[in-house]
Amino acid sequence: MEESKFSMPLLGDKFPELKVATSHGPMNVPGDFAGSWFVLFSHPADFTPVCTTEFVAFQKRFDAFKALGVKLIGMSVDQVFSHIKWIEWIKEKLDVEIQYPIIAANDAIANRLGLLHPGKGTNTVRAVFVVDPNAVVRLMIYYPQEIGRNMDEIVRAVKALQIADKNKVAVPAGWPENELIKDRVIVPPPTNQADIAKRLKDYECFDWWFCHKKL
């Protein structure tokens, strides 16, 4: 029983089907996002300072996510009316209009995503799920309540995932400003000895197992 209570999807798993109430009305996740990338991010509570800075930061990058074909959706265990009032407050006080929906989760929904950590209190932790058009979980990041997220890293990670999928490559640390190969990408390792000589001829390499190229 305890194992299922704190279960969570793993990388490569299908995102669990959830019927949820949101600030935009009832939704099915991931069903309503079929065929699209989406980023679902949880926050501990409405009307809290760090969460407010995060929601503004996500909204400031709304167009950047949209350009990547990515939809945003927030989540906490607050009720819908709290989400709506908080959105109104952000618009009135900070002049930022939140355009993405916010899920009003209950404990059962939060536990399905591993968002309630007993050691961190009763609020949801700051989690990020990047889900691809096939509803597969591709990236997860968990932050404690006391540290806000870096949204530019989430944008970067989505770009990197899309580039890796499209070009069948790997993406280096800090891309596109990697200390060794800048904005280049890494060629997958060879599968047999015959490929080694070809790789050394076709690509720039530090060694046969570390070759890179321009996109």
Going by pLDDT thresholds of 50, 70 and 90, the confidence category of residue 124 is confident
Distance between start and end Cα atoms, the chain: 48
- pLDDT tens-digit readout, 152-179: 999 999 999 999 999 999 999 999 999 9
Q: Residues 40, 51, 73, 187: which is the catalytic one?
A: 51
The SS3 of residue 79 is coil
Both tokens of 149, joined, read 């997220």
- pLDDT tens-digit readout, 17-59: 999 999 999 999 999 999 999 999 999 899 999 999 999 999 9
Q: Which residues contact 203 (CB under 8 A, 6 or more apart)?
A: 187, 211, 212, 213
Question: Does pTM top 0.85 for this prediction?
Answer: yes
| 51 carries an active-site annotation | yes
Please give the Cα distance from 176 to 109 (Å, whole number): 36
Peptide bond into 188 cis (omega under 30): no
All structural domains of the chain, each given as residue ranges with its CATH number in brackets, are 2-149 (3.40.30.10), 168-215 (3.30.1020.10)
**pLDDT at 120 (0 to 100):** 62
**pLDDT at 3 (0 to 100):** 42
- Closest-CA residue to 125 (of 102, 108, 101, 149): 149
**pLDDT at 2 (0 to 100):** 42
Q: How far is CA 56 from CA 22, 42, 102, 176, 194, in A?
A: 18, 14, 13, 25, 53
